[in-house]
Structure 1
Amino acid sequence: MASKTLQRLMDVAPRGQPLDPEMLRDCGISAQQTTYLVNAGWLQRLSKGAYLLTGDTPTRDGILAYLSRRIPGLHVGGRTALDWQGVRHNVSFRERVVLWADRPYVMPDWVGEHMPYTLQTTRLFDANLPAGTGLSPLPNRDPSLVVAEPERALLELASDVGKRRAKGQSLEEAMSIAASLRNLRPKVLDTLLSHCTRVKVVKLVRDLGEASGFAWGKDLQRHVDRLGAGRRWTSSRKDGPRFTLKA
């Protein structure tokens, strides 16, 4: 019985992806059998509710697939989403994966050990924007790995500008990245900006668009006016660079 259970698990378990209890049940492994496999050394327990075949190592995509089952609204966003879609700027070794989610989540330690990351939970849009707008899986990748499309990733990138110096996005780098976004879709960007509630994000996207000289960067002032014409925005963080966005 034990050998059949183990063989069934090895046949169906995705390599590099931590397994939660629901996935184990889908593989026909009960809680009692899970405990047996851990005690027998066939499964390793990474943390509560996370298991891995002994000898296997969590991969980036495997970790993200596991987390997507546990964190509402999780997606790859901002600079990482743009990088994965071919827009690269100063990519460093073991780049931090920029994650966005609907609410905070306490990551187990093993996630950071295998995948440097940041998790952002700022709400950028009003409740009228349909869920999943500007999010989609990438071709030839796990469909559970949802990634921000370039237009949404730009707004997330703008949101990150000026935050904590060690993990935030610099204004100079954001400008360089925006200068590479020739093919943004104006209608998609317009929809996202129409529902964006963050003054800083809307103003910064306007400025990045104007500086880029591309078609998508034209006529964005109306989105700023919607949130309140004549209001300047100034970064006030003591631990980050200070900058001001015009009215």
Structure 2
Amino acid sequence: MSTQKESKINQLLQSQPSGVVLLSSWLSEKGYSLDLQKRYRKSNWLESIGSGAMKRAGENVGVAGALYALQFQKDMSIHIGAKSALAYLGKIQYLEFNTKKVFLFGGKNEKLPAWFDQHNWEVEINYFRTSFLPSDSGLTSIDQTTFHLKISGAARAMMECLYLVPEEQHLIECYELMESLNNLQPAKVQALLEACTSVKVKRLFLYLAEKAKHAWFNYLKPEKLDLGSGKRSLAKNGTYIPKYQITVPKELENYGQ
């Protein structure tokens, strides 16, 4: 390989953090032609991990490194959310958490690329495409040694957990998670609730926050929220909560009493 091409690959590797996926489409935009990419693979600078995606040769790249590529090379909103985000944020120390399962959320029209979907990340990927919250609201940034990643902040992650009730998430566990969120900022919570389009999520969030007796709950303004009309049942033969017009499991209503 010519000195010029070696210099170009060195520039690339120095400009990008280690442990991340490099997308072929993004490399092309940066001036690395498909032919040049092919040469880099042939010269063992890069390795393919699927159609249109590569990594540094010899590196181990996990889900976080793949998400980095989606977020910062492809400008997608796909992120770690729900219980997985709360685990990253250190909110689940006292609960059993299956680290072999990762919850991802993205926009209604955002499909996981084939290379992501088909690659073995050694974890179970649970991906949900939703629009019940704005794609850029309630996110935070976490450090992953060589790069940073956008994930759901605590309030958004809690709402994503409630979005998954009851099919993918137990409501009682949601209450246990809510109990750990004693330092949320009410103004940010209020803004997220006002932006949320899911009546179920809003009613459950208010109910659980009030039940947990969080101080920040007293600063919320439920009267500004569209809580819809009609009753919502989330458990058979459960307990009806008139204030929020929801039926919840009896063991939840009796929890802690």
TM-score bracket, normalised by the shorter chain, equals 0.7 to 0.9
SS class of match (1:210)? helix
Residue type at the aligned position of 2:206 = R
- Establish whether residue 38 from structure 1 lines up as the match of residue 41 from structure 2: yes
Unaligned runs of 5+ in 1: none
Provide the secondary structure at the position in 2 that maps to 1:207.
Answer: helix
Matched with 2:125 is 117
The alpha carbon displacement at 1:178 in A equals: 0.5
Q: What number of residue pairs does the alignment pair up?
A: 233
Q: In the alignment, what sits opposite 1:150?
A: 154
1:79 aligns with 2:87: no
- C-alpha separation in 2, matches of 1:116 and 1:224: 39
Aligned position for 1:188? 188
Rate the CA distance shift 1:189–1:244 in 2: closer, same or farther, 3 A: farther
Aligned counterparts of 1:208 and 1:147: Cα–Cα separation in 2: 23
Task: State the match for 1:66 in structure 2.
Answer: 69
Worse overlay, 40-49 or 202-211: 40-49
Question: Do the aligned partners of residues 116 and 3 (structure 1) sit closer, same or farther apart at CA in structure 2, a change above 3 Å counting?
Answer: farther
> Which residue of structure 1 lines up, in the alignment, with residue 210 of structure 2?
210
Report the secondary structure of 1:228's partner residue.
coil
How far has the Cα of 1:97 moved from its partner? 2.2
Higher strand share: 2
Deviations, residues 74-132 of structure 1 (Å, cap 9, x unaligned): 222211222222201212243x222211124134345443443222222214xxx6x62
**CA displacement 1:6-30 (0-9 Å, x = unmatched):** 4643542432211112543477532
For each residue in 1:178-208, what CA deviation from the matched residue of structure 2 results, as whole angstroms up to 9, or x when unmatched? 1111111111111111222211101111221
Q: 1:153 to 1:242 in 2, by over 3 A?
A: farther
Q: Corresponding residue for 1:233?
A: 232
User: Residue 78 of structure 2 contacts residue 110 of structure 2 at CA under 8 Å; is this kept in 1?
Assistant: no
Cα distance, 1:38–1:210 mapped onto 2, change above 3 Å: same
Distance 1:36 1:67, change over 3 A: same
Aligned equivalents of 1:28 and 1:104: distance in 2?
Answer: 26
Deviation at 1:4, TM superposition (A): 5.1
Q: Are the aligned partners of 2:187 and 2:220 in contact in 1 as well (CA < 8 Å)? A: no
Q: Determine what percentage of the aligned residue pairs are the same residue.
A: 24
Normalised by the size of structure 1, how large is the TM-score? 0.79
- Which residue of structure 1 aligns with residue 142 of structure 2? 138
- Asked whether the equivalents of residues 142 and 150 of structure 2 are also in contact (C-alpha less than 8 Å), the reply is yes
Instruction: Work out the CA distance in 2 between the residues paired with 1:37 and 1:139.
Output: 29
Among 51, 54, 57, the residue aligned to 2:54: 51
Map of 1:12-31 to 2, 5 A cutoff? 12=14, 13-25=16-28, 29-31=32-34
For the pair 1:99 / 2:98, whether they are aligned, the reply is no
Query: 1:202 & 1:30 partners in 2: Cα distance?
Result: 48
Change (3 A) 1:245 1:113: farther
Mark the CA change 1:120 to 1:207 in structure 2 (over 3 Å): closer, same or farther. Answer: same
Q: How far 1:216 sits from its partner (Å)?
A: 2.9
SS of residue in 1 equivalent to 2:54: strand
Larger mean CA deviation between 80-89 and 102-111 belongs to 102-111
* Displacement after TM superposition at 1:173 (Å): 1.1
CA distance in 1, matches of 2:22, 2:122: 16
Give the Cα separation in 1 of the matches to 2:45 and 2:179: 51
1:29 alignment partner, SS class: coil
**TM-score normalized with structure 2 length:** 0.76
Report how far residue 59 of structure 1 moved. 2.5
Q: Distance in 2 between matches of 1:208 and 1:67?
A: 33
